[in-house]
Amino acid sequence: MKTTAPVSYILLLAAASIFTSSCERNKPVQKTDAPVANPISAKEYTVDAILYQQQSGEYRALAYQAFSLARLRTDEALKKKKPKEKLAIVTDLDETMLDNGRFGAHLINTSKYYTAALWSEWESLKKADSIPGSVSFLKYADSKHISIFYISNRSQKGLGSTMENMKQLGFPQVDSSNFLMRDKTSNKQERFDSIAKTYHIYMNLGDNLNDFAGVFYHQQASDRKRLTDSLSSNFGVSYIVLPNATYGDWEDAFYGYYKVDTTNDMKFSRRHSLLVDY
Ligand SMILES: [Mg+2]
C-alpha cells in the first residue's frame, strides 16, 4: 500500500535541513598548527636556470663553444707533445659531460630538495643525457690516443649505472680504470695528483671550480671570485668551463657549504642579501 507523508511533515524536515546547513556555514574555523601546504615549489627559484639549460639555444651554443676550444687546445697539446709523454684529459661528469636537467626539473615538480637517496635513484635510472658536443669531442681525443679520466663526485656505488648510462650515450674509454669517483673527500686535488704521476694532464674540463684545482675547494664566494681572477690565464687554455647555473659550489658557498643547519628561510634571505642592486 502506497503511503504519502503529510505536507506539514515534509516542510518541517526542509526547515531543519536549512537550519543545519546554516549552522555549518557559521561554525567558527578551527585553528590548527598543521602546516599549510605551500603552493610554490621549494625549488621554484631554480626554474629559470633549468629552463635556460634545457630550452635555450644559447646554452647549447656555449657548450659547443667550450668543446670547440677544447679541440683546439688538444691539437696544440698534440703538437707540443714530447716523445715519451702520455697526454691525459681530466673531466668532470655532471653538467660537464652528463646533463642531469631532468633531475633538477623533477625536484621542482615534486617540491623536493636534493638528497643523496633521490640522486642515487636518478643515477640508477641511467637517464642522463650528454652535454651537446661532449661525446664528439671525447671521441676525437680518443682517436688521438689521449687518455681520458672521468673524475666525479658521484659515489663508487653508482659507478655501474654511470658507466652503463655513458656507454649508451657513446662516450669513449668507459672502463672502470678511467673513473675516479668520490672517496673520502669531494676535493678532487688528490685524484688529479694521482693521475699526474704518470700522465701530462694538459686539460681539465668542468662546470665547477673544484673540477680544476683544489685551491678552489670550499672557499667562500668572494674568495672563489678572487682566485678565479688570479688564475684567469688558465681559463680557455688548460681549464675548459661548461656553464651550469642550476647548482654547484658557487651556490653552496652562499650557505657556508651547509656546515651549520640552514633553513629554507635562511637560504631565501641569504640569496636576496647577495643581490647587487644599483
Ligand atoms: Mg659537475
Neighbours of 29 (CB within 10 A): 5
3-state class (DSSP) for residue 107: helix
State the distance from the centre of ligand 1 to the C-alpha of 88, rounded, in angstroms. Answer: 19
Domain assignment of residue 110, yes or no: yes
Q: Tell me the C-alpha distance between 253 and 242, whole Å.
A: 19
State the distance from the centre of ligand 1 to the C-alpha of 206, rounded, in angstroms. Answer: 6
State the distance from the centre of ligand 1 to the C-alpha of 276, rounded, in angstroms. Answer: 26
Domain assignment of residue 249, yes or no: yes
Q: Tell me the C-alpha distance between 205 and 4, whole Å.
A: 88
pTM for the whole structure: 0.85
State the distance from the centre of ligand 1 to the C-alpha of 3, rounded, in angstroms. Answer: 81
Domain encompassing residue 55: 44-258
Domain assignment of residue 216, yes or no: yes
Domain assignment of residue 179, yes or no: yes
Kindly give the confidence (pLDDT) of every residue in the chain, 278 residues in length, as a single tens digit, with 9 standing for 90 and above.
343 444 444 444 444 444 444 444 444 444 455 555 556 777 899 999 999 999 999 999 999 999 999 999 999 999 999 999 999 999 999 999 999 999 999 999 998 989 999 999 999 999 999 999 999 999 999 999 999 999 999 999 999 999 999 999 999 999 999 999 998 899 999 999 999 999 999 999 999 999 999 999 999 999 999 999 999 999 999 999 999 999 999 999 999 998 888 888 899 999 999 999 99
State the distance from the centre of ligand 1 to the C-alpha of 47, rounded, in angstroms. Answer: 19
pLDDT of residue 264: 86
Q: Tell me the C-alpha distance between 94 and 111, whole Å.
A: 22
State the distance from the centre of ligand 1 to the C-alpha of 95, rounded, in angstroms. Answer: 5
Domain assignment of residue 87, yes or no: yes
pLDDT of residue 33: 58
Domain assignment of residue 252, yes or no: yes
Cα–Cα nearest to 104, from 44, 63, 23: 44
CATH code where residue 236 lies = 3.40.50.1000
Domain assignment of residue 88, yes or no: yes
Q: Tell me the C-alpha distance between 120 and 173, whole Å.
A: 23
Cell of 4: 504519502
State the distance from the centre of ligand 1 to the C-alpha of 66, rounded, in angstroms. Answer: 14
State the distance from the centre of ligand 1 to the C-alpha of 24, rounded, in angstroms. Answer: 57
Looking at the 3D structure of the chain, how many domains does it have? 1
Domain assignment of residue 85, yes or no: yes
Cell of 238: 688548460
